[in-house]
Amino acid sequence: MFIDMHMHEKTYSKDSFLSLDEIVQIAKEKGLGAVCITDHDSMGLKEAAKEYTAKTGFPVFVGIEYYSLQGDIVAFGIEEYPKERVSAQEFIDLVKAQGGVCFAAHPFRNNRRGLEEHLREVKGLDGLEVLNGSTSVEACQKAAEYAMDLGLFTLGSSDCHVPEKVGVCATWFPDTVQTMEEFLKAFREGQMRPAYYADGSYHVIEVKEYRRTPLAAFT
């Protein structure tokens, strides 16, 4: 099963041009089995997404892309989050206290929104986004190197804000997940793999062979 782990819907991410219907339509066309809405510092779409899933049967998991003082972190499985910026470690600790999971988004993107070298300082991250459809190949490869060095799960996401980016990168899960509980359980098991979309299908990447993969396909 392929899931896009990091997407922005226009209701609560004001820099997005995508409605939930549009996201799901394109996701289905590309063969995604679920999508994750991770709006900027908001989980406002949570109830609407729950209703949408109940009505359509297509899983929509709502998390958050939280802008910590050191950079962006995506989290799932939480009910509360800070309404002001706090340190990356404080946010991770809050996620863990609620039984949630989290990963560093685009850690080496050149816009000062990634954790960068702070990855070596913080404790409690579950994974790293090593494929991000809105980030350079070089930055993604560096993230993959850090994931291997730090022993973190590896994930792929589109980080989409426009239709043409929906599903360009995603994460392969070994089993089908339909509920948030199943999603969180599978995430914690850490058997996911990053993948990119090319030539009408998804291609799973083994991170140890990252540099021999034609990643230019998603840029």
Output the domain CATH number for residue 42.
Answer: 3.20.20.140
Backbone angles phi, psi at 65, to 5 degrees: -105, 105
Q: How many of the other CB atoms lie within 10 Å of CB of 151?
A: 7
The pLDDT of residue 206 is 85
**Residue 218 to residues 52, 111, 131, 142, Cα–Cα distance (Å):** 29, 19, 9, 16
Q: Which pLDDT belongs to residue 102?
A: 98
**φ, ψ dihedrals at 51, nearest 5°:** -65, -40
d(CA 141, CA 172): 18
Cα–Cα distance, 185 to 26 (Å, whole number) = 26
* Tens digit of each residue's pLDDT, the chain (219 residues): 999 999 999 999 999 999 999 999 999 999 999 999 999 999 999 999 999 999 999 999 999 999 999 999 999 999 999 999 999 999 999 999 999 999 999 999 988 899 999 999 999 999 999 999 999 989 999 999 999 999 999 999 999 999 999 999 999 999 999 999 999 999 999 999 999 999 999 999 987 766 555 554 454
**Domain count across the chain:** 1
Q: What is the pLDDT of residue 217?
A: 46
Domain boundaries, position 54: 2-218
